[in-house]
Amino acid sequence: MARYILKRLLSMILILIAAAFLIFTILYLTPGEPARMLLGGTATEDEVRTMAHTLGTDRSYMEQLGEFMINTFVRFKFGNSWLYKVPVMQEMNNRLPHTITIGLISMILTALIGFGLGIIAGTHEGKWQDSVTMAITMLLVSMPNFWLALLMIILFSVNLGWLPAYGIDSWTSYIMPIVASTLGGVAMQARQMRSAVLDVVRADYVTTARAKGQTERKITMRHILPNAAMPAITMLGGHLGGIVGGSAIIESVFSIPGVGLYMLAGINARDYPVVRTCVLFFALVSSIAMILTDIGYAYLDPRIKARYTNRKRKEEKEA
């Protein structure tokens, strides 16, 4: 198992390097000179040239890329914001807690509620539990998260006045952002889990378990759920990545000073160090989510587990 995790971690580093390369290149190729954008329309050619020199954007693509890659992956330096001149990392440290709180809680809720609802619906096929779950998740799947967020603001902030509409003042400020970024993923996860359960309840090995005289409860816990979880777990990684990716939208709607909003501000101001660092952060978080789901999958699936423990077991057998 350790070998498997190590392998996944190595592949994560490769993914991050690829992401860094991509975001650098995309930003480099974006039309418009960052120095001019930063100085505004009234700046003279000379001022722009001096600025470009200070930023280093007058150098060749390869030079800039090399410096960026070495700074990022060898020195772990992310530079200063071009606009505000403060270190990007310092700003990130202030913003990370908000984004991570929302992201982490949303991921956990997506996994728990999504799996739970899917199991309830799948094991009650055709009954009211199933119909209600399917109707609600259908509605949620087709609702964009920003729209849901706006509806919630109108109801809970404007009309009822229960929850703050924007910013982060206390823990109540987290409620709506978390709900808004959770529901879509929950709905999708529930639907996938349900169809996985429906596939498995008809499986022969479930009949075998029943023929052994196993109780229905144990049949569900030991035979149906682990098998149904396999395909649903594969999907989970994608949904978790989606939550992080969606944080830019949710943070804008609720004006939360998080990484997502920082990235949007960076894009608008052509503040490349900010954009790059934020993108790398999102890439890191999604890869971690993917790795965790992959490890969960490998833990459940003996075929993958065996591939990485075979050697050990064979040795044991020979001994």
Residues contributing to the site for other proteins (CB under 8 A) = 202-205, 207-215, 222-223, 226-227, 230, 300-303, 306, 313, 317
Nearer to other proteins, 78 or 297 (CB): 297
Per the CB < 8 A criterion, the answer to whether 117 and 123 are in contact is no
Contact 124, 130 (CB under 8 A): yes
CB nearer to other proteins: pick between 27 and 209 = 209
* Minimum gap (Å) between residue 294 Cβ and other proteins: 17
Beta carbon of residue 141, minimum distance to other proteins (angstroms, whole number): 27
CA distance 53 to 59: 8
Measured at the alpha carbon of residue 57, what is the angle toward residues 55 and 63, in degrees to the nearest 5? 110
In the bound complex, what is the minimum distance in angstroms from residue 301's beta carbon to other proteins? 7
Q: How far is the CB of 210 from other proteins (least distance, A)?
A: 5
Spatial neighbors of 234 by CB under 8 A, at least 6 apart, are: 293, 297
Q: In the complex with other proteins, which residue's Cβ is closer, 201 or 256?
A: 201
What is the smallest separation between the CB atom of 303 and other proteins, expressed in angstroms? 5
CB atoms within 10 A of CB 11: 14
How far is 177 from 167, CA to CA, in rounded Å?
A: 10
Residue with tokens 């967020």: 149
Question: Among residues 183 and 224, whose Cβ is nearest to other proteins?
Answer: 224
Task: For residue 12, give every residue at least 6 positions away whose Cβ sits within 8 Å of its Cβ, in sequence order, or none.
Answer: 287, 288, 291
Which of the 8 DSSP states describes residue 271? -
When the beta carbons of 204 and 315 are compared against other proteins, the nearer one is 204
- Spatial distance between the Cα atoms of 26 and 213, rounded to a whole number of angstroms: 61
Task: State the minimum distance, in angstroms, from the CB of residue 225 to other proteins.
Answer: 10
Nearer of residues 33 and 301 to other proteins, judged by Cβ? 301
Q: Report the DSSP beta bridge partners of residue 87.
A: 80
